[in-house]
Chains A and B, each alone.
Chain A
Amino acid sequence: NAGVTQTPKFQVLKTGQSMTLQCAQDMNHEYMSWYRQDPGMGLRLIHYSVGAGITDQGEVPNGYNVSRSTTEDFPLRLLSAAPSQTSVYFCASRKTRETYEQYFGPGTRLTVT
């Protein structure tokens, strides 16, 4: 299994541009989520999904959209990038909403100028 994969690894955007961060898992996990991590801080939850077709907001959802059309993929969209969205983004998955062990991807480092 490849586990949780994320692309791209690095991205630089100009203010106002849009882009999609890709996340995929091959473990048939129902639950997937997106976090952002700012320097010196822990992770904050952006959006999550408990299964295909179901998404919900986390702590810091503003400026981000998600969709979950398949079990495997959970893309994160920035509609109009802002410098405040400069961060490292981690995608994570776990088998079900109750499962205790969560697997994280390697992260995408995004800079918005």
Chain B
Amino acid sequence: DAKTTQPPSMDCAEGRAANLPCNHSTISGNEYVYWYRQIHSQGPQYIIHGLKNNETNEMASLIITEDRKSSTLILPHATLRDTAVYYCIVRVKRRDSSYKLIFGSGTRLLVRP
């Protein structure tokens, strides 16, 4: 199964962009990259996902390199409420056609006032 590598922690100033990197060098061609975040001890929250193209939604942007071996999650204007652990995840297809999300250790993002 593909695995992801993320820095254990990062910080950024409030109002600035937060760029969270992720390596997934063993990803297969049909495996999606997902990002979730976990605020304090709550359940994880879906942010965004992508396969090959860059994606943007109301929460964030996802930039995937052309070789798909790495990606970057961008929070364009980080707020204090964005302080959380961010998980970069590869979605792997099972034999029964369902999908599983393989969580790594994540990046703890601290947004400073």
Contacts and interface: CB of A to CB of B under 8 A. Distances in A.
Interface residues of B, number: 22
B42 A97 contact: no
A97 B42 CA distance: 23
Interface in B12-49: 32, 34, 36, 41-46, 49
Interface in A21-46: 31, 35, 40-45
B103 to A, nearest CB: 3
A42 B98 contact: no
Given A42-B104, A50-B96, A102-B101, A88 B41 contact: yes
Interface residues of A, number: 27
Nearest to B45: A104
B43 A42 contact: no
A40 B12 CA distance: 21
A1 to B, nearest CB: 15
Nearest to B97: A97
Interface of B: 32, 34, 36, 41-46, 49, 87, 91, 96-101, 103-106
